[in-house]
Amino acid sequence: MDAFAETLAAAQGGDEQAFTTLFRALNPAIVRYLSVLGGSASAEDLAAETWVAALRTFTAFEGDERALRAWLMTIARARWVDGVRALARRPELVTDTAPDAPAKDDVEAQVELGFTTDWALSLIATLPPDQAEVVTLRVVGQLDVPEVAELTGKTANHVRVLTHRGLKRLAKVLGEAKQLKQGS
């Protein structure tokens, strides 16, 4: 039995330390995925809801690390969909203040921001929603094409195309940012 299987079995048996190990290993990817889908403000809350939902049937889960990762991402996506539906049923509060962000002409600040994980996730979030979702699941969630296809309800070929287009678009944006940096 490998280390992951032992940790999973212990966590399913009620070992809090083993569960904490799994949580620490998997939660960051879930939060990143959810922040791309719905913004970082609700990502932590949705991730918490994901774990609560997972705990309901955690002892019955069977599979390896990839299967657990895919299972948790499936639950996270369902929590996100539920949140979107709930938001559609209640009006959104609109304010006249914008979040703090570097000015477009402040290239140095933008480049500094570019070296953070938040910047990378915000860059992915600029992609069309379907591309952002599959890129996040493939890169951040470390899921393979069939798992992403099953999770999103798309064909494997569609997932490949969306991933390719998303990564190509990101490469173009990064190339433009690099040119700006070299030009200054």
pLDDT digits (tens, 9 = 90+) for 21-48: 999 999 999 999 998 887 656 888 889 9
Residues 42 and 84 in one domain: yes
Residues 14 and 78 in one domain: yes
What's the domain count of the chain? 2
**What CATH number does residue 124 fall under?**
1.10.10.10
Q: Choose one of 89, 123, 158: the last residue of a domain.
A: 89
**What CATH number does residue 14 fall under?**
1.10.1740.10
Residues 123 and 173 in one domain: yes
CA dihedral 102, 183, 122, 165 (to 10 degrees): 150
Residues 79 and 126 in one domain: no
pTM (two decimals)? 0.62
| 102: confidence class by pLDDT, cuts 50, 70, 90 | very low
Residues 82 and 8 in one domain: yes
Residues 156 and 123 in one domain: yes
The answer to whether the Cα torsion of 47, 48, 49, 55 is positive or negative is positive
Residues 84 and 143 in one domain: no
Range of the domain at 67: 3-89
Residue 95 lies in a domain: no
Nearest Cα residue to 111 out of 42, 64, 52, 180: 180
Give the pLDDT of residue 99: 46
How large is the C-alpha radius of gyration of the chain?
Answer: 19
Residue 47 lies in a domain: yes
Q: Choose one of 22, 56, 89: the last residue of a domain.
A: 89
First to last CA, the chain: 55
Residues 20 and 81 in one domain: yes
Give the pLDDT of residue 120: 75
Question: Residue 73 pLDDT more than 50?
Answer: yes
| 117: confidence class by pLDDT, cuts 50, 70, 90 | low
Residue 177 lies in a domain: yes
Task: Tell me if 37 sits within 8 A of 128, measured CB to CB.
Answer: no
Residues 85 and 117 in one domain: no
Residue 120 lies in a domain: yes
Residue 69 lies in a domain: yes
Nearest Cα residue to 46 out of 71, 74, 76, 20: 76
Element (H, E) at 163: helix 156-183
Q: Choose one of 89, 117, 145: the last residue of a domain.
A: 89
Residue 37 lies in a domain: yes
Residue-wise pLDDT tens digits, 130-174: 999 898 888 888 888 999 999 899 999 999 999 889 888 888 877
